[in-house]
Structure 1
């Protein structure tokens, strides 16, 4: 492979690794407000209750 091919491969690899590092660094920076978190937990509880009711109906 000519030199330019290796340069392109290295640049592509560096871009991929750099993007993954940025994603890792920003993964926990998204804050969810207490109000939204409460709504999420309430909806999750509703869904679990519905699923358990459906499971009981099947038996």
Structure 2
């Protein structure tokens, strides 16, 4: 394989590895208390809707 082919392969591997590392680092971003409470409320709403749908189906 010509040298340019190896360069492209190494570049592609480096880009994928760099993207995965950036994704890993940004996955643990701290949430404010306000956002956490908003998420909890939305999750409770969704669970209530799902429970209502289950009751309606029976």
- Taking structure 2 as the reference length, what is the TM-score of the superposition? 0.81
Instruction: Give the C-alpha shift of residue 31 in structure 1.
Output: 1.9
In structure 1, stretches of 5+ residues that fail to align are: none
Q: Deviations over 1:10-36 (max 9, x none)?
A: 1221121122112112210x2211111
1:18 maps to what in 2? 18
- Taking structure 1 as the reference length, what is the TM-score of the superposition? 0.80
Q: How many residues align?
A: 58
CA RMSD of aligned residues (A): 1.3
**What stretches of structure 1 move > 2 A for 4+ residues in a row?**
none
In structure 2, stretches of 5+ residues that fail to align are: none
